[in-house]
């Protein structure tokens, strides 16, 4: 019975694993929608560039100056670093591992108590 509970609740196709996978699936679907929106925006921008329509600030950002403009160069500025975010579902995957270990430990403890009680009854002559 303990093995059955472990398999259906904590196993690799158990309830907790399926919930974690479903949340991961939702996160990926959200990322896909975001990437599709970004792709549509990039396609629109590409079409404008092909037609020769450039935003005025783009030329300035790329280093082109209009007649009479001056450029200022800044050196020694601080650089901000960005760290990558953790993949979705890793916290739950870690907690699921801990739940599995706890289940095994409790199951072994329960079996040991049951066997101890059985041996105690045998010693007293009870069945």
More confident residue, 112 or 55: 112
Q: Confirm if 6 and 107 have CB atoms less than 8 A apart.
A: yes
Which DSSP helix (H) or strand (E) runs through 16? helix 15-50
pLDDT of residue 27: 94
What does the pLDDT look like over 15-50, one tens digit per residue? Answer: 778 888 889 999 999 999 999 999 999 999 899 889
pLDDT of residue 117: 86
Contacts with 59 (C-beta within 8 Å, 6 or more apart), sequence order = 66
pLDDT average, residue stretch 113-117 = 86
Confidence (pTM) = 0.43
Q: Confirm if 89 and 27 have CB atoms less than 8 A apart.
A: yes
pLDDT of residue 84: 57
Which DSSP helix (H) or strand (E) runs through 34? helix 15-50
What does the pLDDT look like over 45-76, one tens digit per residue? Answer: 899 889 888 777 777 677 777 778 777 777 77
Percentage of residues in the chain with pLDDT exceeding 90? 18
More confident residue, 49 or 125: 49
């Amino acid at each position: 019975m303990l093995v059955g509970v472990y398999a259906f609740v904590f196993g690799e196709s158990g309830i907790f694993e399926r919930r974690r996978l479903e949340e991961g699936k939702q996160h990926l679907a959200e990322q896909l929608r975001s990437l599709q929106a970004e792709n549509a925006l990039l396609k629109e921008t590409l079409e404008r560039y092909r037609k020769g329509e450039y935003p005025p600030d783009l030329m300035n950002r790329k280093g082109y100056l209009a007649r009479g403009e001056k450029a200022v160069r800044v050196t020694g500025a601080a650089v901000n670093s960005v760290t990558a975010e953790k993949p979705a579902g890793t916290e739950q995957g870690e907690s699921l591992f801990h739940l599995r270990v706890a289940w095994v430990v409790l199951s072994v403890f329960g079996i040991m108590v049951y066997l101890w009680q059985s041996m105690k009854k045998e010693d007293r002559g009870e069945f």
